[in-house]
Structure 1
């Protein structure tokens, strides 16, 4: 990964699909006895390990060390290192097996690996420590709910150094041309799509070749219709993707595909092509994460003008158990603190990171995080402010479709997502494939 909003990096972050060989973590406890309780005196060093492809986190930490975290840095001097991120999970496992995890590092790329670390008591319970330090209110509720849901423990074990919301970005000029209002329900979205197509405007832009932008719609429909815990029930074996109420979601998206709402070549459109298509006026709605702000705010890429882009949350499903206020989100690149190195120095760093990371990351690197921001840039683009306000006001969040899937289930879902956009797969066929892949 790298800090630029490139498609390859973003897809990896959003989907979290790096494979990792499993090791017996429960046999390797932390190097020092760290249980998230009383901390020991600082050893004079605070180590951070990141990926060479990402410079935003280390850059923010270095900026903090010279300013807001100067006292923490004096007690435990920041020491940073980086390794290649292409095999990140595997390398984390090796370090864990040798009791060599850094005091703070980028978290595991897959939720399953983080759950192994949690079960093996290798990572600090940040809910407890943030409360003890009196800074738990520095984490935005939507970001906290995303991470607690992702790792399934109910407590916070990583910090949201990046936070992305997802939803429908739309071209205001094209909606006005077709006389379409911003939809708040799925039925209104379907009516809007029909009106746009009748006006010779492509309703939706989507990277059907990549698959995941289409499967996001399936997952969001499920959350709106069945509630925020619907896919956790699938992961727990209490429900199946082939149950009629789950198939309904995939079928709703497949119907849009059969109607041609994603365009004639939906299955061959990749991320970069889809981004360019939307920013040159080639479609009305574009489901995407807020990482696309870098593209939207770049006048060389954005030919329709940032002032002509709006954002709408994924619509409600009438009669559904979910809430339109629960924003689909992912935490991008969270960071964890390890129990093996937990001491007074780590606690001091945790406190100042919670207090100041959000402002420094935004002002110096343009990175939207899951931390409270006290002083946003005076010249901040309007779309960035819109995203920040949405995050700050969201009472909770929901994950993406594949967040709780096995690696095989994730692969099957992404591979076949484009078939929904082209209308070549029915909702029933898609869900049967993904369910079988999840069980394989």
Structure 2
């Protein structure tokens, strides 16, 4: 019921969006003014965020804004943090409909974001970064993750990550198995781990996107991001051979009891604890969790047992082993209506300082100018993960939750647990989702490309 509420809110906001113009303020002309003229007049600027309050990004930006305020008395950065993603999206879309977007706001490269950009509500980040002479300092993969289908860039990345499958070598040995060579090996892997007394895969089901990530794996191996690009616009269906294969694979994960009992209500911390306690054998997560999974913070009883493998390929895979999910996190958009010399100066100041500060937290920076600092208590996985991040290929997996329209995405997240739990059949899942996407996808992307 709660998810249906968000879908209804999104639909209402979308309608309001068309009426209000999404708070475009100065219009598309202003969105192109990446170097506004005038004096820098210190004031409070606000940033609506959807990030962990104790995370490296916020810590770095707090330090930077404090330093900036010393040089510009009267300046302050107000951080409005809403870590819960559904609540955040609701707040963001409501503010957009009311023409009250803050100076800065977090947003993914969704159809909603693309409409905001098209209406002139967001500053063209590629032009801005080039004007600031810092565009070439960014990792290509970090920028590409933030782009719309037409290649335009309206969000600033603050992270650069890779997603891998952490696994327990001892539990694999106990089950008599090796790491899977292809995605088709997952069901057999799960069955063997179940028989040996282990939970095969720990999953954070409550946040919904982790299970949706699994749904994206098979199509990505089959055709890169082409399938989801076509599916979301109604130009492909899950009933097509490629889509059906993905749905059948997800159903087989459920039949093989790959995920822990009650996975759909398991929170992030609990899923991770299931893995770090040695009860679960596999845990799909990103390099943002290296401080917890590859240092002395990790349970000493399993610390030497943990390794990881990259997303396996499939027979006839169109993408390679070094092409997989490499997100740069939720991006930061800049309100074109309130973009003035102060906002521009603060952003340039921040991005000039950010790379070194963030790298010192032990995280991969989206910029090439700083190397992440490896903690003194890190296990060998830490450096290996960084090395793999530098070898990421040209094509990286685009998460489906940033690609589908909000209504289709909400329904997909509702239906996936039912499919994996065996509560609905493959055919019913396909019929339901094809109908929802065909009805909502084309409308969401109308006039965007």
Interval containing the TM-score (normalised by the shorter chain): 0.7 to 0.9
Q: Distance in 1 between matches of 2:217 and 2:410?
A: 18
Deviation digits for residues 238-291 of structure 1, max 9, x if unmatched? Answer: 101222220101101211321333356556655443322211112222223444
Please identify, of 353-362 and 384-393, the stretch whose mean Cα deviation from structure 2 is larger: 384-393
Q: Distance in 2 between matches of 1:236 and 1:218?
A: 18
Question: Runs of 5+ in structure 1 lacking a partner?
Answer: 1-14
Q: Distance in 2 between matches of 1:190 and 1:176?
A: 17
CA RMSD across the alignment: 3.7
How many residue pairs get matched?
419
Matches within 5 A, 1:240-389: 240-262=237-259, 266=263, 269-293=266-290, 295-296=292-293, 302=299, 304-364=301-361, 368-372=364-368, 374-377=370-373, 379=375, 381-382=378-379, 383-389=381-387
Q: Secondary structure at the match of 2:174?
A: helix
Q: Distance in 2 between matches of 1:207 and 1:218?
A: 14
Q: Distance in 2 between matches of 1:117 and 1:339?
A: 10
Q: Hey, what does 2:447 align to over in structure 1?
A: none
Aligned partners of 1:280 and 1:303 also within 8 Å: no
Q: Secondary structure at the match of 1:49?
A: strand
Question: Runs of 5+ in structure 2 lacking a partner?
Answer: 1-5, 441-449
Q: Hey, what does 2:180 align to over in structure 1?
A: 183
Please identify, of 306-315 and 249-258, the stretch whose mean Cα deviation from structure 2 is larger: 306-315
Please identify, of 56-65 and 151-160, the stretch whose mean Cα deviation from structure 2 is larger: 56-65
- 1:385–1:292 distance in 2 versus 1, CA, 3 Å: same
Matches within 5 A, 1:1-400: 19=10, 21-22=13-14, 23=17, 24-26=19-21, 28-31=23-26, 33-45=30-42, 47-51=45-49, 54=53, 56=55, 57-65=57-65, 74=71, 78-83=75-80, 85=82, 88-89=88-89, 91-92=91-92, 101-103=101-103, 105-108=104-107, 111-148=110-147, 151-208=148-205, 211-262=208-259, 266=263, 269-293=266-290, 295-296=292-293, 302=299, 304-364=301-361, 368-372=364-368, 374-377=370-373, 379=375, 381-382=378-379, 383-395=381-393, 396-400=395-399
Deviation digits for residues 186-236 of structure 1, max 9, x if unmatched? Answer: 234455445444544443233456654333212111111122221011112
Q: Distance in 2 between matches of 1:45 and 1:102?
A: 16
- 1:328–1:304 distance in 2 versus 1, CA, 3 Å: farther
Aligned partners of 1:363 and 1:376 also within 8 Å: yes
Aligned partners of 1:88 and 1:109 also within 8 Å: no
Query: Normalising by the residue count of structure 2, what TM-score does the alignment of the two structures yield?
Result: 0.78
Q: Secondary structure at the match of 1:393?
A: coil
Q: Distance in 2 between matches of 1:378 and 1:295?
A: 13
Aligned partners of 1:41 and 1:345 also within 8 Å: no
Q: Distance in 1 between matches of 2:115 and 2:349?
A: 28
Deviation digits for residues 75-128 of structure 1, max 9, x if unmatched? Answer: 79742124463754555456556766444x222368233222201112111112
